[in-house]
Structure formats: structure tokens, C-alpha cells
A = this chain, B = another copy of it.
């Protein structure tokens, strides 16, 4: 089932361009990367804590997430990923994984050998820079999550997360009109925000009842974007998008 699919990596190119300009040469080189494409069921681990990675994963369609388990079944989710993301790009320079990467929904992913990526970045410093930049934005998002965890109450925290996930999708053309897919369960949201699923549920109820946001059937609908931004003190600057979200 290994195959080269023309333009399979288009989502990756679109994602990189949402964050860094690319030359035509660079785009072509990315499209010529050897890829192994797979479609995985929901909630399937892709790489695990402790693995030694030899390839990177590009999400082509669907959602993925990174997480880690602690004792007594506690779980922390670090990030959610959409088409175009390379959630384990870091394994290129730190092959020993310190957390898990798994699908969230059914997802189509492409695997690219580290070797090919090392070769690509050696030939195209601009792509190396774009990749590095991508991992730095990843870190910027972690910092924003840290703020939310440490200093924002539950309502603002969730509101902030919704702004982020909407903006990220909007930047690659997967969202618009103040609505977007959001296929995670309330338990996932809880493990991402350090709350309880019960409390997530109550906060969502409050958001619904104050007419700000609804989350139903895997779809987020923002009824009052400006208010949501204001309530969560969201500033998209940390996402370092090329084309800033209009509002």
C-alpha cells in the first residue's frame, strides 16, 4: 500500500505557507518527497512515549493529538493537530519520543523518512528554517497553554482554546464564518485544559446559555466572536500566522 500520490503533501505546503513564505522550488521539492500514506482509525497511537522515531508524520486529513499518561489514569493532552501539521517534526532532531502521538478522529497521514527530511533541509535552508519556525510556533502555543492553565479560570481557558483552534483552522482554509469542526470529546477538552469533564460540561452549558458559543455534533459555532476574544484575552499574535485572522 506504500505509494507516491501526486500532491499528497498539499496540506503540508498550505500549512507551511500559512506561517512562512515558500519559493516554487521549495514547494516542488516538498511535493517530490517520498511518502507512505495510511488511513488510520480514530484513537490509534501513531508513535509512543519511549519510541525511537525514524520518520515524521504529516496529517493529511482528520485530527491528531499528543498526550502523556501519568499514574492513576491521569492524562494530559498537549496539542491538537489538523491537516498540514507535522506533530512529531521534533523527532527529526530528538528521535527519542517523550510523549504519545495518536489520531483523534479517523485520519489520513503521510510518513516521511527522517533521511529524506534531513536531505531536504540540507538542500533547502529555507525549508529548514520553515520547519524550525514551525517547531518554534509549537513552543509558543505551549507557552500560551501554560498561561491558560496557570492563570486563567475555566471559562476563559476554554474560550481561549476555542479561539486558537478556530484561528488555526481558518488559517489553512478549514474554517470560516465563525464555525469549524471540533471533533474532540468533553473528556479530551478536560485533559487538554487540566479540568474535569464534568466541569467542562458545565462551562459549555454556561457558554451556550450566555449566547457566546455552542459545541454540538463535533461543530463549534461562535455566536459572539468579539466577546469570546475579549473574555479570553485572545491575541492571535502567538500563532505567528502570515495572514492574520480578520475577526
Contacts and interface: CB of A to CB of B under 8 A. Distances in A.
Nearest to A78: B143
Contacts of A90: 136, 139-140
A223 interface: no
A136 B70 contact: no
Interface in A88-107: 90, 93-94, 96, 98-99
A75 B132 CA distance: 28
B140 A143 contact: no
Given A128-B128, A132-B93, A98 B238 contact: yes
Interface string A211-246: 000000000000000000000010001101000000
A174 interface: no
Contact of A149 (B125, B128, B140, B194): B194
Contacts of A150: 76, 149, 191, 193-194
A52 interface: no
A226 B138 CA distance: 33
A143 B143 contact: no
Nearest to A193: B150
Nearest to A134: B93
Number of this chain's copies in the complex: 2
A133 interface: yes
A122 interface: yes
A151 B237 contact: no
Contacts of A143: 68, 78, 98-99, 142
A127 B137 CA distance: 21
Interface of A: 68, 70-71, 74-76, 78, 90, 93-94, 96, 98-99, 122, 125, 128-129, 132-133, 135-140, 142-143, 145-147, 149-152, 191, 193-194, 233, 237-238, 240
* 6 A-B pairs with least C-beta separation: A150-B194, A142-B142, A149-B149, A139-B139, A76-B147, A93-B133
